[in-house]
Amino acid sequence: MAQTDKHLPKLLIVEDDPGLQAQLKWAYEDFDVTVVGNREAALAALRADEPAVVTLDLGLPPDPDGTTEGFAVLDAIMALKPDTKVIVASGHGARESALQAIERGAYDFYQKPVDIEALGLIVRRALNLHVIEQENRNLAMRAGDDNTVLGRMITGAPEMVKVARTIERVAKTNVSVMLLGASGTGKELLAQGLHDASDRSKGAFVAINCAAIPENLLESELFGHEKGAFTGAVKTTEGKIEQAHGGTLFLDEVGDIPLPLQVKLLRFLQERTIERIGGRKPIAVDTRIVCATHQDLEAMIAEGQFREDLFYRLAEIVVKIPALAERAGDPVLLAKAFVKRFAQEMNPQVKGFAPDALAAIDGWGWPGNVRELENRIKRAVIMAEGKLICAEDLDLESAEEGDSDPLNLKSAREESDRKVIRHALARTEGNISSTAKMLGISRPTLYDLLKQYDLQA
């Protein structure tokens, strides 16, 4: 490993070719460079050095002629330190490998043979973005009033900020995006945010829940129909796809589309034209497709319930949305936003939460995610008899937090400190004295921790 210089940004090079190793190592004098040649060494260096940027050759031993080992390293990096900017290089099936790498979280892709100068530009651009995103994450983790991303989603959790940054990045492209997450995690809100951040923002955002419409009506809803096409078709009607021309079509619960209709949807994605039911004239439609599901589509493909070719058309980029329980501090932040909105509409005397309510919100597992939280807050606002909502109004039981898989001991300690401090700040409305008392530490110690972790009351 290279000698550590704490003043230089860290770059990890994962490459098994000795000649290229030496060439790359000396090309980055403005980085603290570590060079390794296999998965085990790469993960050891990742844990020890926590590099900002990684260049990763997909063809690593014991699979130097394939991509299996390289993708295994990429997956491990994204699991351990997802904010790392990974630049993947390969000569194997460039386009397919590039799409797969980006989908798995890579920052960029570079096809071999390597041009050192061009790769250097990508590495330095990745470092600049890493610095900017770190500043954004620090801001997002502060327990202030402005915790919105994508213009409308409230969050202070790094996991959700990462999702938002991914959405912002892919929004400017025209690729199809699939949002995967449990019910109630905010998939439609993210889809709307993607539309708003795209070049199609002036067009329509058209959403349809494929699970909420009877099978015999779904085709008409999507593709429209001509007058007289069937009993009750008294006029020509545009379908949702046509309505989204120039904008974005959001297909929620896309896994519920029946197989015969999947064929017609696939044809549209291939040809970008539709025919209304009862019509014979092809209609060109320019729309960007965003879809969402809570189902395991790969399992459905194996069972013959979902077309594999349609899946790959819809899932050019896949974004996984964490459950609310995995987003430390967010339940309290969201609860405060909901109580403010619902109190204004339904019960103006309600001003906030009692301490036992905040503790209950913070400790609950939220199996129904944001939708469950919103419903409980709405009910509590209606039922509350005083100015503060108490735990009884929420009808919640306590729950223990789950374990996480830390990058290393130092990261585990920092993650634990940050999480506990964010929880306490959220509960005490940022009051330093109350937070210090809740944490069992002095005010000076709390100030030192806030400075150390770049948190703000």
How far apart are alpha carbons 425 and 140 in whole angstroms?
14
Classify the C-alpha dihedral 217-247-167-419 as positive or negative.
Answer: negative
Note whether 158 and 304 are same-domain residues.
yes
CATH number at residue 172: 3.40.50.300
Amino acid at 394: L
In this prediction the pTM is 0.57
Residue 91 lies inside a defined structural domain of this protein: yes
Note whether 390 and 414 are same-domain residues.
no
Encode the chain (457 residues) as per-residue pLDDT tens digits.
444 455 789 999 999 988 888 888 888 888 999 999 999 999 999 988 899 999 999 989 998 888 899 999 998 998 888 889 999 987 766 777 888 888 788 888 888 888 888 888 899 988 988 887 776 556 544 434 456 767 678 887 778 888 888 898 899 888 999 999 988 888 999 999 999 999 999 999 999 999 989 888 898 899 988 887 777 777 888 889 999 999 999 999 999 999 999 999 999 999 999 888 888 889 999 999 999 999 999 999 999 999 999 999 999 999 999 999 888 788 888 998 899 889 988 888 888 887 778 878 888 889 999 999 999 999 999 988 888 888 888 887 543 433 345 667 777 777 778 778 877 777 776 788 888 888 888 888 888 888 777 776 6
How far apart are alpha carbons 48 and 36 in whole angstroms?
13
Note whether 66 and 110 are same-domain residues.
yes
Contact (Cβ atoms closer than 8 angstroms) between residue 176 and residue 315: yes
If you search the block for the tokens 């290229």, which residue do you land on? Answer: 20
Instruction: Provide DSSP, 363-396.
Output: H---TTHHHHHHHHHHHHHHH--SSEE-HHHHT-
Look at the chain and report how many structural domains it folds into.
4
> In this structure, what token pair is assigned to residue 273?
């034209």
Q: Checking DSSP bridges between strand 288-293 and strand 317-320, what pairing results, if any?
A: unpaired
Contact (Cβ atoms closer than 8 angstroms) between residue 353 and residue 388: yes
Residue 145 lies inside a defined structural domain of this protein: no
Range of the domain at 161: 154-320
Q: Checking DSSP bridges between strand 10-14 and strand 32-36, what pairing results, if any?
A: parallel
